[in-house]
Amino acid sequence: MGKLLLTVAVAIASFIAAESLVCNKCSFSLLGFCMNAANETCKDVNSTCFTSVSTFPSLSSFKGFNTQGCAFDSTGCGKINTFSFLGVPYDNNYTCCSTDRCNPVVSGAPASRMALTAAVGASVLAVVFSM
Ligand SMILES: *[C@@H]1O[C@H](CO)[C@@H](O)[C@H](O)[C@H]1NC(C)=O
Ligand SMILES: *[C@@H]1O[C@H](CO)[C@@H](O)[C@H](O)[C@H]1NC(C)=O
Ligand SMILES: *[C@@H]1O[C@H](CO)[C@@H](O)[C@H](O)[C@H]1NC(C)=O
pLDDT (tens digit per residue) in 81-105: 999 988 989 999 999 999 999 998 8
Q: Which residue has the higher pLDDT, 59 or 129?
A: 59
Element (H, E) at 75: none
Give the nearest ligand 3 atom to 55 CA. 14
Determine the residue type at 116.
L
pLDDT above 80 for 130: no
pLDDT band at 4 (very low <50, low <70, confident <90, very high): low
| Protein residue with its CA nearest to atom 6 in ligand 1 | 39
Q: Which residue has the higher pLDDT, 128 or 41?
A: 41
**Ligand 2 pocket, 58 CB below 6 A?**
no
Q: Which residue has the higher pLDDT, 112 or 95?
A: 95
pLDDT above 50 for 12: no
Nearest to 88 by CA among 110, 67, 53, 62: 62
Residue 79 in 3-state DSSP?
strand
**Ligand 1 pocket, 38 CB below 6 A?**
yes
**Ligand 3 pocket, 95 CB below 6 A?**
yes
pLDDT above 60 for 126: no
What domains does the chain contain, in order, with CATH numbers?
A: 2-124 (2.10.60.10)
pLDDT score for 125: 53
